[in-house]
A = this chain, B = another copy of it.
Amino acid sequence: MNITSIIAAIPLFEGLTQQQCESLGAIAVRRNYSRQQSLFSEGDESNGFYIILTGKVKIFKLSPEGKEQILHIMGPGEPFGEAAVFAGEHFPASARTLAESKVLFFPRLSFVALITKNPSLSLNMLAFLSRRLRRLTSLVEDLSLKEVPGRFAAYLLYSGKHKNDPDVIELGISKNQLAGLLGTIPETLSRILKRMSQEKFIKAGVRHIQILDREGLRELSEGRRRLS
């Protein structure tokens, strides 16, 4: 598949003309990564940003004691590392693949040159950064104002990844990683999974969760109820 049509299909580049996509294609570099490979680490010099074509990448922070807080899990079509292009020079977090992945890499300078000439591209980018900001805001809210069961309930309700049954959530990541995303550790998550199953909020499988009581989860996530 040629690179221009790949680029035209990426949400960030929606609304761009064929020609604009071609100039993007001219500066884009394809890269392939295997599972558990590091793309960059916190503090690294930034020389561009990425868009995922296939696979899955986590953006995360590590504490000195080794605890991991995942900021985002990025899937196909999603860009990451853009913030370092426009502010600062180094990455504020680390990135690592969770699965074999193909990505496009856009070198910093060429991209900045392009964006100054394409108002709709910069508007798209502003929209993406703003959404990212919103997601992070909500993560802060979860970490600071909710306890773990509430965070997990919110995750289930918000993560609309259903195939045909809207009540079955395909996790798509290990419970280990999920713990890191929720700002806790696997042991705690496991215990909460058990309690929520006992109290019939959910039915927990190996790689999927079935929602039994949507309203109950909503109450949990909003702090109007707690596990007993």
Contacts and interface: CB of A to CB of B under 8 A. Distances in A.
Interface in A34-87: 61-65, 67, 69, 71, 82-87
A203 to B, nearest CB: 27
A223 B122 contact: no
Given A86-B123, A126-B125, A61 B140 contact: yes
Contacts of A128: 87
A163 to B, nearest CB: 27
A140 B68 CA distance: 11
B86 A144 contact: no
Contacts of A137: 61, 71, 92-93, 136
A128 B128 CA distance: 14
Interface stretch (A22-30, A113-121, A168-176): A113-121
B223 A64 contact: yes
A41 to B, nearest CB: 14
Contacts of A119: 115-117, 119, 122
A141 B64 contact: no
A222 B222 CA distance: 32
Taking residues whose C-beta sits less than 8 angstroms from the other chain, chain A's interface range is: 35 or more
Contacts of A126: 86, 115, 122, 125-126, 129
Contacts of A85: 130
A137 B92 CA distance: 7
B69 A131 contact: no
Contacts of A224: 64
A54 to B, nearest CB: 25
B61 A130 contact: no
A133 B134 contact: no
A123 B85 CA distance: 11
Contacts of A196: none
Interface in A199-220: none
Q: Nearest 10 A-B pairs (CB), nearest first?
A: A87-B130, A63-B145, A83-B130, A122-B122, A69-B144, A86-B130, A116-B119, A86-B126, A143-B143, A87-B131
